[in-house]
């Protein structure tokens, strides 16, 4: 049986020739017949339109060759359209967060293509964020995580030229500026209809996946296919608060969790963990929000929900 593969690729990350060579190697190794068609992303169409054209052309599998932004755009379209088409990933970005969390081969396009062609698929959830921006209310899907605070500031503070040279290590360089920009502010957080006992924060993350670059895990309970999103709220203010946050991440939900076999993430004075299906967040002043590494702009109100089993990924 011939597989009809639509390859959605970001030309800023690689060349079509390089991808074609990697795909040829994968086809030869897997001994499969493939009918391929190429769909290039652009600045105006980061992936949603390309995905729609590939589906209309009859693709059985969409293989996304690009970074987190391209993957997010295609996943958003698949979740929104309900198309019966599976998703494969050839990770070519800086973070490659969904690929990392799903253990897709990194730095090896041929191996990633092999998995996209013949790997077992699984259902994963997609989160939806509705955000009030200056130009109006927008709704965006995300496959990994969304929020404001440290992660959003790291994105806006990261030097793009440095990111091109050293990859995810550029985010480490921006951490100091992000820390100085992430002051606490007043918040009202309502999770599944219940207001949380936390009225200030500098960082809020809600995620489908918990692992970042270098194996750092911020959301230890996150499972992309469990029908829930995981929540982390950080409110450290001063040296003592940051010590508590670090202890919570490294000891409570790191070493101690492994040694004791803890079933769920522990909270502390400065770090609140939870699991939600819906979330409303109101801030006393606007903050930059991000989804899957993409800066959406400043807002003081967002709503988040989860679409269970939204897409099937190989």
What pLDDT does 242 receive? 75
Better-scored residue on pLDDT, 243 or 179:
243
What pLDDT does 172 receive? 47
- pLDDT digits over 64-80, tens only? 999 999 999 999 999 99
What pLDDT does 182 receive? 59
What pLDDT does 75 receive? 98
SS (H, E, C) the chain: CEEEEEEEECCCCCCHHHHHHHHHHHHHHHCCEEEEEEEECCCCCCCHHHHHHHHHCCCCEEEEEECHHHHHHHHHHHHHHCCCCEEEEEECCCCCHHHHHCCCCCCCHHHHHHHHHHCCCEEEEEEEEEEEECCEEEEEEECCEEEECHHHHHHHHCCHHHHHHHCCHHHHHCHHHHHHHCCCEEEEEEECCEECCCCEECEEEEECCCECHHHCECCCCCCCCCCCEEEEEECCCCHHHHHHHHHHHHHHHHHHHHHHCCCCCCCCCCEEEEEECEEEEEEEEEEEEEECCEEEEEEEEEEEEEEEEEEEEC
Please tell me the total number of residues recorded for the chain in this structure.
Answer: 314
Query: What are the φ/ψ torsions at residue 152 (nearest 5 degrees)?
Result: -65, -40
Q: What angle do CA 91, 93, 99 make, to 5 degrees?
A: 40
Query: Which residues on neighbouring strands pair with residue 275, listed in sequence order?
Result: 230
What pLDDT does 53 receive? 98
Alpha-carbon gap, residue 86 to 226, rounded angstroms: 19
Compute the average pLDDT of residues 20-26: 98
Q: Residue 247 — very low, low, confident or very high, per pLDDT cuts 50/70/90?
A: confident
Compute the average pLDDT of residues 170-184: 53
**214 pLDDT above the threshold of 80:** no
Which of 188-192, 241-245, 256-260 is predicted with the least confidence, judged by mean pLDDT? Answer: 256-260
What pLDDT does 151 receive? 64
**153 pLDDT above the threshold of 50:** no
What pLDDT does 258 receive? 72
Compute the average pLDDT of residues 129-144: 96
What pLDDT does 196 receive? 95
Domains of the chain with bracketed CATH = 2-119 (3.40.50.10330), 126-309 (2.60.200.40)
Better-scored residue on pLDDT, 183 or 142:
142
**119 pLDDT above the threshold of 80:** yes
**33 pLDDT above the threshold of 60:** yes
**195 pLDDT above the threshold of 60:** yes
Alpha-carbon gap, residue 154 to 94, rounded angstroms: 13
**222 pLDDT above the threshold of 90:** yes
24 closest CA partner among 40, 48, 5? 5
**163 pLDDT above the threshold of 90:** no
Alpha-carbon gap, residue 313 to 87, rounded angstroms: 5
- pLDDT digits over 261-272, tens only? 777 888 888 899
Better-scored residue on pLDDT, 179 or 221:
221
């Amino acid at each position: 049986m011939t597989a009809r593969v639509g390859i959605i690729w970001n030309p800023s990350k690689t060349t079509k020739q390089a991808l074609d060579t990697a795909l040829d190697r994968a086809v030869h190794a897997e001994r499969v017949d493939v009918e391929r068609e190429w769909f290039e992303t652009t600045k105006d169409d980061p992936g949603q339109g390309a995905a729609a054209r590939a589906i209309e052309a009859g693709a059985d599998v969409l293989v996304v060759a690009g970074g987190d932004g391209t993957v997010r755009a295609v996943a958003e379209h698949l979740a929104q359209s309900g198309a019966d088409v599976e998703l494969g990933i050839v990770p070519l970005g800086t973070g490659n967060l969904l690929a990392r969390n799903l253990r897709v081969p990194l730095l090896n396009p041929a191996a990633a293509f092999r998995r996209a062609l013949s790997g077992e698929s699984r259902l994963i959830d997609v989160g939806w964020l509705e955000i009030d921006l200056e130009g109006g209310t927008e709704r965006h899907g995300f496959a990994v995580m969304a929020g404001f605070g440290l992660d959003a500031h790291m994105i806006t503070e990261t030097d793009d030229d440095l990111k091109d040279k050293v990859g995810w290590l550029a985010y480490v360089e921006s951490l100091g500026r992000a820390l100085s920009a992430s002051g606490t502010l007043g918040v009202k957080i309502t999770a599944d209809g219940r207001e949380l006992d936390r009225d200030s924060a500098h960082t809020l993350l809600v995620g489908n996946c918990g692992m970042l670059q270098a194996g750092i895990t911020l959301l230890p309970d996150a499972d992309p296919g469990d029908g829930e999103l995981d929540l982390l709220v950080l409110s450290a203010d001063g040296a003592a608060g940051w010590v508590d946050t670090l202890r919570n991440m490294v000891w409570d939900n790191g070493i101690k969790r492994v040694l004791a076999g803890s079933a769920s993430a522990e909270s502390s004075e400065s770090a609140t963990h939870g699991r939600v299906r819906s979330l409303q967040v109101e801030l006393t002043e606007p903050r930059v929000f991000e989804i899957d590494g993409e800066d959406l702009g400043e807002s003081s109100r967002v709503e988040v929900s989860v679409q269970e089993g939204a897409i099937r990924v190989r």
